[in-house]
Amino acid sequence: MFAFIVRRLLQFIPTILGISLIMFLLLNLIPGNAALSSAGRLELAPEVVEQIKAELGLDKPIVQRYVQYITRLAQGDMGQSYLRRYDVSEVVFSRLGATLKLAFAAISIALLIGVPLGFFAALKQGTWMDMLLTVVAVGGVSIPQFWLGILLMYFFGFMLHLLPTSGYGNGSLANLVLPALTLGLGYTAMLARITRAAVIEVLTSDYVRTARAKGLSELAINVRHVFRNAFVLILTTAGLLFGSLIGQTVVVERLFSWPGIGSLVVEAIFQRDIPVAQGCLLVIIFVFLTVNLLVDILYRAINPQIDFE
Amino acid sequence: MNLNMLKCLAFAAIVGFAGTAQAADSGGEFNFVAPYDGSILSLDPHKTSKQQDLLVTNNIFRSLYMWSAEHRKPMLELANLESVSDDGLTYTYKLHADMMFHNGRAMKASDIVYSYERMLSMKPVSPNAGHIQIIQGAKAFESGGADHVEGLSVLDDLRFSITLNDRVDPAYYFYRPGTAIVPQEAVEAAGDEFGLSPVGSGPFKFEEWVKGSEVKLSKFDNYFEAQKPYLDKLNFKILQEGSTRDIAFRANELDAILVEASQYPQYKADPSYSEHLVEVAEMFTRLISWNADYAPLSDKKVRQAISYAIDEDTINKKFLKGKAYNPVGWLPSTSEAFDANGKGFGYDVEKAKALMAEAGYADGFELEILGTANKSYGVGVAEVVGQYLSKIGITVTTQQLEGGILYDKLVAGDFQGIIWSFGSGVEPLKALKRWHSTTANDSGNYVKYNNPEYDALLDKAQNTNDEQKRVEYLQAADRIFADDAAVWLFNYNKAVLAVQPWVHGIEPVAIEIMYQDFADVWVDANSPRAK
C-alpha cells in the first residue's frame, strides 16, 4: 500500500508538468492585452503599456517565460498577480477553503440523499415508486443551477426569511445551506441514478442468489452483499464527481457571492491575470489528483480483494 | 426632452439631499454592494483603478479634493487653498490641523509629497500615475532622472505647494480616489501587503476583508469632520449578479443597490421603492465608433444619414427600459459645459435616404459592428441598430467579442464599427480633447477625428481666463463634433440606486454613482440594522 501511494504521488509530477505546459500555452495565447488589463483601464499611452509589459516580463519570448515559471514553481513560488500585485499563493489559497467547504457540503448532500434514494428505487424496481424517483432524478439533473439557486434564494431568503440570500457570512452554516443545496441537488440526482443501476446489477449476481438460498435475511443481504459491492462503483463516481465539482462551482459561487476558487479562475481569465488563472488551475488539478488517490485507497478499505499491484 | 432630464436631475438631487436636512441619527450598520464584475483586487488606492476597488477605498482614504455631488465638481477636502501664483501654475495649500490617519498620527504636508511620489515610483507603474504627471518634474522623477518631484514642496508641517506644467485646474486631477493620501510608515511596514490591510484618513477604518465576499469597515472616531461619520459599521458585499442583489435588497439584507436596466421598470412601478430611487446621468457616453478608413464611413453624409436613420429615443425607452438619457453631444447632461439647448439628429428616415443618395450610396453597403455581450451597450443594441439601418439599405452584421479582444481591435483600427461606452467627464475640456487631432489614435481618438475648426475651439477654451467664454467654446466644439457624426451617439448612462426608506444621505454622484461618500450617510430607527 505504501509503495502504491508513493508511486502515485510520483506520478503527480509528470501529470502536473504536462498540464502546466498546456495550461501555460493556452492562457498565454488568449488574445487580449494582459498589460492593459493589469493597469485596470483603457486608454493608456502606448509607451506606458510597453513599460508595464516589460515590468511584468510580458515582453520576453513565451519559452523563456515558461522556463521561468516552472523554475519558480519548483521552488514553491506561483508568482505575483498582475492585477492584485501580491503573491498568487495568497490569492489562491485564500479562496480554496471556501470552495472545498462548498464541494464537501454538496457531495455530502448528494451522498446522503442520492445513495439511499437510488438504493430504494433499485429495490422497488419497476414499481410506481421507482418511476417517480426516476422522474425526480432526471428532473434534478436537468434543472439549471442558476435557476434553482434563484428559486431557493427567493423562497428561503425572501419569502420565509429562514436563511441569508447570499454571501459567505464568515463561513456560517446558514450561509452554506443554499449554495450547497443548489450545487448538490444536481449531483444527488446523478448519484441516485448511478446507485440504482449499480444495485440492480448486484441484485442479479450469483452471490446474492446464493445468499438468498442460504436463507440470509433481506437486510443482511442488502447490507453485507448488495450495498458493499455496489458501493465500489458509487464511491468511484462520487470521487470523480467531487473532483469535477471543484472546477464547476463557478455558477453557484457567482450567484451566491461565495468566495471560492471557481469564480476566481473565470474572473482571472477574463481579466488576463494569467498568474492567478495558472495558480487556480494548478490547485484544482492537484485537488482532483489527490481525491482520485484517496478514492483508490478507499477501494482497498471497502474491498480488500482489490490488488493495487 | 432636456427639460425632462433636468427634472430627473432635480428630483434625484432632492432625494439625495433630503436626508441631510434632517437631524441625523448616529449608529447602525449599512450594507452596500460592490456590484461590478470581478472581485475586489486591492485596497491600496495607488495600485488599482478598478471602480470595484475604489468605491471601497473612497471611504477608507481621502484625496486632496473630493467630488461634490452638490456642486457637481471637485471641492477641497484635506486642505485650504492659501494662494495661486500669478502665472496660475503654483498652488499653495494648508492642511486642516485636525486631519488624522487611522493609526493615530496627524497628517503632515510631507504625506502629500510621499503619496504622489510613491505613485510615480511604483513598479509596475501606478495606473493612476497619469493624474500626477501634471506636476512639474513628475515625468523626470518617474523615469529616474530626478530624486524628487520638482513641483512638490513642503513649506512646513501643514503647508505645501504644487507647481503644475500647464494652467489646468488641479482639482480635476487630485480628486480621484486613486490619488489618495497614504501614511508612509504604514505603507513601508506593510510592504506589498498594504492593499490587504489599508490605513487611510477617511471616515471608516478597515476591519476585515473576506476575499471574494465582502469588506467590513468601522467608524473612525477621529475623523476630522465633527460628528461624522454617522454609521458605526459599513459593509461592502461583493454581489455581481443583478438578480442576487435584487432578492437580497427586497429581503432587507441590503440598504442600497445598483439597479440594472432589466430591473428598472419594476422598481419604477413598485410604490415601495419608486420614491427611493437615486438617479443621475453618469459621465459616460455610449456610442458606436465609426472607422474613417472604411470608405463609406469616411463620408460625413453617410455618417449623418446613419444618425438620422436610427431612433435612439425609442431604443433608449424600449430596449433599455428608459434607463438612459438621449444624447445631444459628447458631454453628458451633468457636465458643466453641457449644452442644454442642444438637439440630436432626431429620427428622419427620408432625410437619411436623401443623404445616402447624395453620398452615392443609395443602394447601401455592408457594415460590421463589433461589441461585447454588455446588455446596455453591446451587440444586442447593435442588432437593433441593424434593423433601423436596413431601412436605408445598410446591411449590418454583428460580432460579439470579449472586452480585451475588442479593445485590441479598437486600438489597432481593425473594425468598421464598435459599440462601447467611453468616459466623457469630468473636466469638459479634457473630455472633448479625446477627439482633438493631436490625441493619438491609439489612446483615445480611435476614430481619427480631425476637424481644424474643432481643434481651434478647444485651443481657445484652454487659453481663455473667461469662464463663460470657455464654456461657450466648449459647447460650440461639442456641437461641431456631434454634427460631424464621427460616432453615433447613443446615450448617457442613467445610473440608478434603489435605496431603502430608512436610508438618508445617498447622493447622485455623476462621476460614478457607486462612489458614495458614507461620511454623510445615516440610517433612521426603521433600519433593521439601526444601532
**How much is the pLDDT for A298?**
80
Cα angle vertex B263, ends B260, B267, to 5°? Answer: 115
Residue B211 at interface with chain A, using a CB cutoff of 8 Å: yes
- Is A199 inside a domain boundary? yes
**How much is the pLDDT for A141?**
80
| CA–CA distance, A140 with A130 (Å, rounded to integer) | 15
Is residue B67 located within the same domain as residue B212?
Answer: yes
Is residue A123 located within the same domain as residue A255?
Answer: yes
Is residue A59 located within the same domain as residue A134?
Answer: no
- Could you give the percent of chain B with pLDDT greater than 90? 78
Q: Which three-class secondary structure state does DSSP give residue B57?
A: helix
Contact across the interface for A259 and B211, Cβ inside 8 Å: yes
Size of the A and B interface in Cβ pairs below 8 Å: 151
Residue B374 at interface with chain A, using a CB cutoff of 8 Å: no
Contact residues, chain A, for B444 at CB < 8 Å: 43
- Is A308 inside a domain boundary? no
The region of weakest confidence among A136-150, A215-229, B39-53, B94-108 is A215-229
Question: Which one of B50, B207, B211 would you mutate to disrupt binding with A, by most A Cβ within 10 Å of its Cβ?
Answer: B211
Q: Which three-class secondary structure state does DSSP give residue B494?
A: strand
Is residue A167 located within the same domain as residue A115?
Answer: yes
Domain count, chain A: 2
Compute the mean pLDDT over every residue in chain B, rounded to the nearest whole number: 92
Is residue B227 located within the same domain as residue B307?
Answer: no
What confidence tier does A46 reach under pLDDT thresholds 50, 70, 90?
low
Residue B443 at interface with chain A, using a CB cutoff of 8 Å: yes
Contact residues, chain A, for B399 at CB < 8 Å: none
Q: Is the pLDDT of residue A191 over 70?
A: yes
Is residue A154 located within the same domain as residue A195?
Answer: yes
Bond before B124 cis per omega within 30 degrees: yes
What confidence tier does A44 reach under pLDDT thresholds 50, 70, 90?
low
Is residue B335 located within the same domain as residue B353?
Answer: yes
Is residue B371 located within the same domain as residue B451?
Answer: yes
- CB-CB: which of B48, B50, B253 is closest to A165? B253
C-alpha grid cell for residue B450?
480631425
Is residue A99 located within the same domain as residue A46?
Answer: no
Structural domain including B162 reads 3-238+500-523
Please write the tens of the pLDDT for every residue from B247-259.
999 999 999 999 9
What confidence tier does A45 reach under pLDDT thresholds 50, 70, 90?
low
| CA–CA distance, B387 with B185 (Å, rounded to integer) | 60
Residue A51 at interface with chain B, using a CB cutoff of 8 Å: yes
| CA–CA distance, B263 with B36 (Å, rounded to integer) | 16
Search chain B and give the residue with CA nearest A93: B211
- Is B256 inside a domain boundary? no
Interface of B with A in 83-112 (CB under 8 A): none
Is residue A13 located within the same domain as residue A118?
Answer: no
User: Beta-carbon neighbour count of residue B393 at 10 Å?
Assistant: 17
Q: What is the mean pLDDT of residues A283-293?
A: 88
Please write the tens of the pLDDT for every residue from B396-425.
999 999 887 888 888 889 999 999 999 898
Is residue A98 located within the same domain as residue A222?
Answer: yes
Last residue of a domain, one of A59, A83, A107: A83
**How much is the pLDDT for B4?**
47
- CATH number of the domain that B127 lies in? 3.40.190.10
C-alpha grid cell for residue A291?
481525491
Q: Do A209 and A264 contact (CB within 8 A), yes or no?
A: no
Last residue of a domain, one of A67, A83, A99: A83
Q: Which three-class secondary structure state does DSSP give residue B444?
A: coil
Q: What is the mean pLDDT of residues A139-149?
A: 88
Q: Pick from A220, A223, A196: which is nearest to A123 by CA?
A: A196
- CB-CB: which of A56, A86, A267 is closest to B193? A86
Helix spans in B122-205 (H): 129-132, 138-142, 171-174, 184-190
**How much is the pLDDT for A42?**
47
Q: Is the pLDDT of residue B18 over 60?
A: no
Please write the tens of the pLDDT for every residue from A16-43.
889 889 988 888 887 766 666 655 444 5
Search chain B and give the residue with CA nearest A39: B127
Last residue of a domain, one of A34, A64, A83: A83
Structural domain including A140 reads 89-302
**How much is the pLDDT for A267?**
87
C-alpha grid cell for residue B123?
513598479
Residue B248 at interface with chain A, using a CB cutoff of 8 Å: yes
**How much is the pLDDT for A134?**
83
- Determine the distance in angstroms separating the CA of B273 from the nearest CA of chain A, rounded to an integer: 16
Domain count, chain B: 2
- Is B254 inside a domain boundary? no
- Is A307 inside a domain boundary? no
Cα angle vertex A197, ends A191, A186, to 5°? Answer: 20
- Determine the distance in angstroms separating the CA of B38 from the nearest CA of chain A, rounded to an integer: 6
Is residue A186 located within the same domain as residue A220?
Answer: yes
What confidence tier does A62 reach under pLDDT thresholds 50, 70, 90?
confident
Is residue B192 located within the same domain as residue B303?
Answer: no
Is residue B195 located within the same domain as residue B71?
Answer: yes
Search chain A and give the residue with CA nearest B195: A84
- Is B156 inside a domain boundary? yes
Q: pTM of the prediction?
A: 0.85
Q: Do B498 and B385 contact (CB within 8 A), yes or no?
A: no
Is residue B299 located within the same domain as residue B447?
Answer: yes
Residue A150 at interface with chain B, using a CB cutoff of 8 Å: yes
Contact across the interface for B239 and A264, Cβ inside 8 Å: no
Is residue B207 located within the same domain as residue B297?
Answer: no
Residue A102 at interface with chain B, using a CB cutoff of 8 Å: no
Please write the tens of the pLDDT for every residue from B386-400.
999 999 999 999 999
DSSP secondary structure of chain A? -HHHHHHHHHHHHHHHHHHHHHHHHHHHHSSS-HHHHHHTSS---HHHHHHHHHHHTTTS-HHHHHHHHHHHHHTT---B-TTT-SBHHHHHHHHHHHHHHHHHHHHHHIIIIIHHHHHHHHHTTTSHHHHHHHHHHHHHHHS-HHHHHHHHIIIIIIIS--S-SSS-GGG-HHHHHHHHHHHHHHHHHHHHHHHHHHHHHHHTSHHHHHHHHTT--HHHIIIIIIIHHHHHHHHHHHHHHHHHHHHT-HHHHHHTT---HHHHHHHHHHTT-HHHHHHHHHHHHHHHHHHHHHHHHHHHHH-TT----
**How much is the pLDDT for B7?**
45
Complex ipTM value: 0.82
Q: What is the mean pLDDT of residues B267-273?
A: 93
**How much is the pLDDT for A309?**
54
Is residue B217 located within the same domain as residue B308?
Answer: no
Q: Is the pLDDT of residue B345 over 90?
A: yes
- Is B275 inside a domain boundary? no
Is residue A184 located within the same domain as residue A93?
Answer: yes
